Amino acid sequence: TDIDAFIAGLPKAELHLHIEGSLEPELMFALAERNGVAIPYASVDEVRAAYDFSNLQDFLDIYYAGADVLRTRQDFHDLALAYFDRAAADGVVHAEIFFDPQTHTARGIAFDTVIQGLLDGMAAAEAKHGLTSKLILCFLRHLSEEEAFATLAEAEPWLDRIAGVGLDSSEVGHPPAKFARVFAAAAGKGLKRVAHAGEEGPPEYVHEALDLLHIDRLDHGNRSLEDAALTARLARTGMTLTVCPLSNVKLCNVASMDVHPIDAMLRQGLRATINSDDPAYFGGYVGENYRAAAHARGLSKDDLTMLARNSFLGSFLPDADVAAHL
């Protein structure tokens, strides 16, 4: 349709993408074979059939298991480049991608192996597509504060290649307050801060992310809408929300795309963006997220332009680069 063509032609930044969540079943099988790793699925179709989630934890269990096929620097390069190829095809010109080092170091894969492979993939994407990117190191919030500090220490030699820190994994029961000290330490090293909050957790977790983690960007943030004063604060301060429509529906945080609040967020003056989260698991890359939300919610070309513009305004690019993309 006309709207689909308009979306395809919009230059975009992607600000909420877990690189481990871009592992397509085909690559999972290829890496399992290359590395001699057994996987509990007989076929690609069987893998896809397993992607039927009723909440975040359901998904996380399968997502962490899938990551076990990632072993070598080459694997992380291949994973990243496969994502960037898909993103470039959707008009993404800049991506700020999450990685979860603890998912790998817990299995005996060195931090350096992971980050070197990802950096190789990022360099390849810039050479191949002109697509620029940044890395955001996420702490797994179901693990301890002490383990987060150990991960930050492992990142020390790479700090000039890491834009910021984030917070992901099981939200409820692991409030932002648990990581206030490690985020303060990260800030002291000059790192930006983002956190998943208000995906499944209550608006109080968004308040904590703002007041205790001093976040520069809010990942998801949907449940902020339950708190009018919080919504007004996010709008007034120009906080960017990295919204992930297909993820919200797949994880049953939104009943269906027909009732997704993306347009309500824009009407309330929030700087919302559209992102893919874990595209291999949730049924689509960033273009599909734009299309699904646009069709279900009747987004106009002005709305879509605003969403894409917000993605650059909310990025960690220098002001001159943001201006060049607007």
The answer to the question of residue 102 lying near ligand HPA (CB under 6 A) is no
Active site positions, annotated: 199
Using CB under 5 A, which of the segments 58-66, 81-89, 184-192, 274-282 binds Zn ion?
A: 274-282
Site size toward ligand HPA (CB under 6 A) is: 10
One residue of 111, 277, 307, 316 binding Zn ion per CB under 5 A: 277
Min CB(196)–Zn ion separation in Å: 5
Angle between helix axes 2-9 and 286-297 (nearest 10 degrees) is: 140
Binding to ligand HPA, residues 265-304 (CB under 6 A): 277-278
Binding to ligand HPA, residues 22-51 (CB under 6 A): none
- Residue 53 backbone zone (phi > 0: left; psi -120 to 50: alpha; other: beta): beta
Matching residue, tokens 């006309």: 2
b/e 9-18 (16+ beta carbons within 10 angstroms → b) = ebebbbbbbb
User: Is 278 assigned a ligand-binding role in the annotation?
Assistant: yes
**Residue 21 interacting partner from ligand HPA, Zn ion, none (CB closer than 5 to 8 Å by kind):** ligand HPA
Min CB(178)–ligand HPA separation in Å: 15
Question: Which tokens hold the place of 240?
Answer: 């960017």
User: Is 258 assigned a ligand-binding role in the annotation?
Assistant: no
Min CB(3)–ligand HPA separation in Å: 26
Query: Residue 282 phi/psi, 5° resolution?
Result: -110, 5
User: Is 260 assigned a ligand-binding role in the annotation?
Assistant: no
Nearer to ligand HPA, 57 or 74 (CB): 57
- Residue 206 CA to residue 212 CA, distance in Å, equals 10
Query: Residue 197 phi/psi, 5° resolution?
Result: -155, 140
Minimal CB distance residue for ligand HPA: 168
Residue 213: Cβ within 10 Å count: 24
CA distances from 8 to 1, 12, 103, 263, 297 (A): 11, 9, 34, 19, 18
The answer to the question of residue 21 lying near ligand HPA (CB under 6 A) is yes
The answer to the question of residue 18 lying near ligand HPA (CB under 6 A) is yes
Classify 213 as helix, strand or coil: coil
The answer to the question of residue 200 lying near Zn ion (CB under 5 A) is no
Min CB(21)–ligand HPA separation in Å: 5
Residues 6+ apart with CB under 8 A from 157: 112
Nearer to ligand HPA, 90 or 278 (CB): 278
CB contact at 8 A, 101 and 114: yes
Question: Which tokens hold the place of 205?
Answer: 């977790």
Min CB(18)–ligand HPA separation in Å: 4
CA distances from 271 to 29, 43, 62, 71, 153 (A): 39, 41, 32, 38, 33
Binding to ligand HPA, residues 187-216 (CB under 6 A): 196, 199
The answer to the question of residue 97 lying near ligand HPA (CB under 6 A) is no
Nearer to Zn ion, 14 or 154 (CB): 14
User: Is 211 assigned a ligand-binding role in the annotation?
Assistant: no
Residues that bind Zn ion (CB under 5 A): 277
Positions at the binding site for Zn(2+): 16, 18, 196, 277
Residues that bind ligand HPA (CB under 6 A): 18, 21, 56, 168-169, 196, 199, 247, 277-278
Positions at the binding site: 16, 18, 196, 277-278
